A and B are shown apart, each in its own frame.
Chain A
Amino acid sequence: MKSVSQLGYARIRLRGKIMSLTEALVQNEIENDEPCNAEIVIDRIVLNKKNPDRERILDSIETAFKLGKGVAVVIRDNETEKMYNRDFVCKKCFFEVADITPKHFSFNSPEGACQHCSGLGVIKEIDEDLLIPNKNLTLAEGAILSWNKSGGRSSVLSSGNNILKMLGDKYGFSIDIPVKKISREHLNIVLYGSNDPNIIFEGVIPTMKKKYEELNSNYLRSEIEKYMIEKVCPLCLGKRLKGEYLSVLVAGKSIDQVVDLSLVEFSRFLGELEKANLSSAKKSIILPLIKEMKARSAALQNVGLGYLSLSRSANSISGGEGQRIRLATQIGSELSGITYVLDEPSIGLHNRDTEKLIATMEELCEAGNSLITVEHDEQIIRRADWIIDMGPGAGEEGGEVIFSGDLQKLLKSKTVTAQYLNGKRHVGDRKKARKGLGKFIKIQGATEHNLKNINVNLPLGKFISLTGVSGSGKSTLVTDILSKGLAKYFFNTKEAPGKHKKITGMENIDKVISINQAPIGRTPRSNAATYTGVFSLIRELFADTEEAHTRGYDASRFSFNMKGGRCEDCQGEGKKKIEMHLLPDVYVPCETCSGAKYNQRTLEIEYRGVNIAAVLDMSVSYALVFFKNSKLVTEKLATLEKVGLGYLKLGQSAVDLSGGEAQRIKLATELSRRATGKTLYILDEPTIGLHFEDIRKLLGVLDALVDKGNTVLVVEHNVDVIRNSDWVIDLGPEGGSGGGEIVFEGSPAELKKCKGSWTGKYL
């Protein structure tokens, strides 16, 4: 109160009475009371309505707010009292929100992010079921897996058991009965600790959590992560922001509701907001914002992404989607005179959406830009102004421009591409649909994402295509429900499949192999030979030579990734990076091994007159002939050749591989595993990056698998593949919430007649 006088104010209101400050000090001393309800009198005026001293009053109000931390009181005639609040305050429960700025709506800034999950929406938590997977074990037998698996040291388990025994004695449970018989209450004490302050034991889960936060070692953290499961944050329910900002509404909708809308619905929301009844001041604020958002949203819809929602996380969008997002944002930049270079923007697009994409690309051209796109899609080739055909073969046999000109000229030329375009060649012609095995895998009541409680039957022993426009729920059905459900059944994985009632018929197959779009290793130390495992076999062949035996070299000597056989100067990379500081880095071949990757001693070992470095330089087709005596090696190499990778050098590093090549290496690896005749193969758009000719080869491989009794399920947009399958399932009819239903199930010939199907239209 003394400092109030130091601030220069003379009067104060204490317990409802205005008095001078000295008076107040005296009174306060008598009553020796905390000045709990004191207010400083900032200003007293007599209102002159005609000519009010606006500036003085405003000034006083400002000061009052400042001193009162946002709360000011105005008293009229010493009677009526009114409180004003500069912050947002709830009249009922006095909940306060200090300030609302754009950063409070950002889940990447500490001001706005949910404090529990720091804005991620999900949180890693230790899962009881993973911690105690077998509830039939007793605690003494090591039911708690993390204690059981401590590197074979029994001390942790026994000391843990001592703790548990003491707990059991205190609370009256036995550690020698199966966990499922221990009461929930007692189990909670073991897992989460008890409330008793005399017990030091914190509980298994809090101890692990603490360890997880404190540990620096990635290995130990990943050990604990095995018991963790990603859960939706319980505080923000996956909405990523603090509660107070989630309850800020525009046109009755909170920001999390708006970002969950699909872009089509989002544009509609903006349209309604534009027309909404608002004060003109507010309108002038929001109109430019709405205009900008509408333009961007429309651009995204024009590249066929109308089904995406703004809240969709970047790590769950596919490469093709990501590329189209960038394309759409480029249009907004309104640059001209730029050369855009695109890599297959049509990947993962249904034919219907491809047309929208072409329109977008043409728009960019009209704005005065050049567009160069690498593409195989027939629709885009037909609409291009200029076509360059490369070939004639692949790898060493390619690298030449075999045609350059417009479509009319191309159709008259004799290149492979032209032959497919003018119908002289076909990707494949199916004579007869297979009968199949008469058995089914049935998915019942699938409701994840936009799926509308559908039942899907997959006939086994057939080539099945799953199609539908982008966002119709294909990936949800196949990846989230089928793949995860089967993986859980066959491999006991911990990821929970998407919502569905049940999957039946799993006993009719004995294995599932799914090949998705993720790239293989992006390290220069991985290559086609190491990935397929053929290199280990070749290394063994080298280790088996007489000279290697005499010198005592084993297979690891022939690895360029391990110490021993590799050239230590470049550590097996074959080249060295020279930093030029101001100029770009330059790679030069290692002087010691001249790019061979191995040291001289290793290179002296020869297998049939060829050393290990020379093997890495062989193409797959050449190696196939060279290693014809080793059945295991040729088997693996043959699958690589079958998927159209015969030109690939064995030592070509993974970083230099194109996307399509990487995916086919994965495919070849899976194919080289022995087919049981009862396997289900799930492929996510295997034709990505493939030319017509390559697709023909690929179909041959897949057909051979089905002929052996296996089942192949492909998620595909490619018309030729659909035409060649035995059974087609078409989802739709539209993307997003307008999809998720089965439009058609049956043979491709019948699909053509189906009127409601977009796919049928393009067949």
Chain B
Amino acid sequence: MLKNNPKDRSKIIVRGARVNNLKNVNVEVPRDKLVVITGLSGSGKSSLAFDAIYAEGNRRYLEGMSSYATQFLDVSAKPDVDKIENLTPTISIDQKSIARSPRSTVGTLTEIYDYLRVLYAKVGVPHCPHCKTPLEKITNSEVLDDMLDSPDKTNIAILAKLNGKDQSLK
């Protein structure tokens, strides 16, 4: 029976919004579209976009979490709106929401720097900061391969340097 009357989900429907200076606004916003809200400054654009639609979408989404989790989140109070239909979770991208610490850079904000760090750690070639010659290191199997290069029946001794490096061994 429900199938005969599928609900139209192509629009976000706002009914009776009275946030800040909004005067009982009813409006329909098409979904999956680029929608512009314009008007004089102070005419209530931000109130409709942020304080009504964003706040409600964010609140509904966060309320879905357990009450234990919500106490750590900044869940806003229910905006003064009669109802909003067909709303999906909302994400706000405003001008303030960026971390402004001297420890963040464009690289860390976009996480490109994290990838770059891995890149340098994996394939970077270290050089001596003083004489600029490349530094080298070797893995166990490379030592073994090197050993196997010597002729058959060679007497080989493997030694560990004490070298005064480790005092506990003395």
Partner of A404, one of B27, B151, B168: B27
B23:A372 contact, CB within 8 angstroms: no
B125:A248 contact, CB within 8 angstroms: yes
Cβ of A394 within 8 Å of any chain B Cβ, yes or no, is yes
B160:A93 contact, CB within 8 angstroms: no
Cβ of B45 within 8 Å of any chain A Cβ, yes or no, is yes
B39:A370 contact, CB within 8 angstroms: no
List CB contacts (< 8 Å) of A325-345 with chain B: 325-330, 337-345
CB of A123, distance to nearest CB on chain B (Å): 12
A630 to B74, CA, bound (A): 45
B129:A244 contact, CB within 8 angstroms: yes
Nearest first, the 6 closest Cβ-Cβ pairs linking A and B are A319-B95, A390-B39, A394-B42, A310-B107, A398-B43, A322-B98
Interface string of A337-372 (1 = CB under 8 A from B): 111111111010000000000100110010011111
Find chain B residues with CB under 8 A from A584 CB.
75-77
Cβ of B8 within 8 Å of any chain A Cβ, yes or no, is no
B119:A286 contact, CB within 8 angstroms: yes
Interface string of A576-609 (1 = CB under 8 A from B): 0000011011100000000000000000000000
Interface string of B42-74 (1 = CB under 8 A from A): 111111111001100100000000010011000
Interface string of B80-123 (1 = CB under 8 A from A): 00000001111111111111111111111111111111111111
Asked if A339 meets B42 with Cβ closer than 8 Å, knowing A61-B143, A326-B98, A380-B36, the reply is no
Summarize B's interface: helix, strand, loop or mixed.
mixed
Find chain A residues with CB under 8 A from B12 CB.
339, 370
- Kindly specify which of A66-74, A179-187, A532-540 makes contact with the partner chain: A66-74
B71:A582 contact, CB within 8 angstroms: yes
CB-defined A-B contacts under 8 Å, sample of 6: A90-B133, A259-B116, A313-B104, A328-B110, A385-B34, A399-B23
Cβ of A736 within 8 Å of any chain B Cβ, yes or no, is no
Cβ of A693 within 8 Å of any chain B Cβ, yes or no, is yes
B112:A390 contact, CB within 8 angstroms: no
In the complex, the chain A residue whose C-beta lies closest to that of B169 is: A3
Cβ of A452 within 8 Å of any chain B Cβ, yes or no, is no
Partner of B41, one of A84, A362, A389, A658: A658
In the complex, the chain A residue whose C-beta lies closest to that of B30 is: A386
Most buried by A among B106, B126, B141: B106
A635 to B34, CA, bound (A): 43
Summarize A's interface: helix, strand, loop or mixed.
mixed
Cβ of A48 within 8 Å of any chain B Cβ, yes or no, is yes
CB of B168, distance to nearest CB on chain A (Å): 7
A105:B159 contact, CB within 8 angstroms: no
Cβ of A13 within 8 Å of any chain B Cβ, yes or no, is yes
Cβ of B140 within 8 Å of any chain A Cβ, yes or no, is yes
CB of A358, distance to nearest CB on chain B (Å): 8
Cβ of B130 within 8 Å of any chain A Cβ, yes or no, is yes
A370:B33 contact, CB within 8 angstroms: yes
Find chain A residues with CB under 8 A from B34 CB.
358, 361-362, 365, 371, 373, 383-386
In the complex, the chain B residue whose C-beta lies closest to that of A517 is: B95
B110:A296 contact, CB within 8 angstroms: yes
Find chain B residues with CB under 8 A from A311 CB.
105-107
Find chain B residues with CB under 8 A from A645 CB.
42
Asked if A390 meets B44 with Cβ closer than 8 Å, knowing A95-B129, A285-B122, A361-B34, the reply is yes
A391 to B43, CA, bound (A): 5
A273 to B116, CA, bound (A): 12
A374 to B46, CA, bound (A): 7
List CB contacts (< 8 Å) of B129-146 with chain A: 129-133, 135-141, 143-144, 146
Residues of B near any A CB (own CB < 8 A):
12, 20-23, 25-50, 53-54, 57, 67, 70-71, 75-77, 87-133, 135-141, 143-144, 146-148, 150-166, 168-170
CB of A94, distance to nearest CB on chain B (Å): 9
Q: How many residues of A contact B (CB 8 A)?
A: 177
A343:B112 contact, CB within 8 angstroms: no
Most buried by A among B41, B89, B96, B97: B41
Find chain B residues with CB under 8 A from A632 CB.
none
In the complex, the chain A residue whose C-beta lies closest to that of B62 is: A584
Cβ of A119 within 8 Å of any chain B Cβ, yes or no, is yes
In the complex, the chain B residue whose C-beta lies closest to that of A366 is: B32
Cβ of A168 within 8 Å of any chain B Cβ, yes or no, is no
CB of B20, distance to nearest CB on chain A (Å): 7
CB of A282, distance to nearest CB on chain B (Å): 5
- Kindly specify which of A34-42, A464-472, A474-482, A668-676 makes contact with the partner chain: A34-42
B92:A341 contact, CB within 8 angstroms: yes
B125:A314 contact, CB within 8 angstroms: no
Partner of B90, one of A34, A87, A338, A647: A338
Partner of B32, one of A313, A365, A400, A402: A365
A414 to B112, CA, bound (A): 48
Find chain B residues with CB under 8 A from A82 CB.
146
A289 to B161, CA, bound (A): 39
B70:A582 contact, CB within 8 angstroms: yes
B88:A339 contact, CB within 8 angstroms: yes
In the complex, the chain A residue whose C-beta lies closest to that of B20 is: A399
Find chain A residues with CB under 8 A from B133 CB.
90-92
A36:B38 contact, CB within 8 angstroms: no
CB of A21, distance to nearest CB on chain B (Å): 12
Partner of B27, one of A18, A297, A343, A388: A388
Asked if A42 meets B160 with Cβ closer than 8 Å, knowing A47-B153, A375-B37, the reply is yes
Find chain A residues with CB under 8 A from B31 CB.
339, 370
A1:B170 contact, CB within 8 angstroms: yes
A689 to B126, CA, bound (A): 50
B153:A341 contact, CB within 8 angstroms: no
A325:B98 contact, CB within 8 angstroms: yes
Find chain A residues with CB under 8 A from B89 CB.
337-339
CB of B162, distance to nearest CB on chain A (Å): 4
A300:B156 contact, CB within 8 angstroms: no
B106:A690 contact, CB within 8 angstroms: no
CB of B12, distance to nearest CB on chain A (Å): 7
Find chain A residues with CB under 8 A from B106 CB.
308-312, 314, 317, 325
Find chain A residues with CB under 8 A from B47 CB.
399
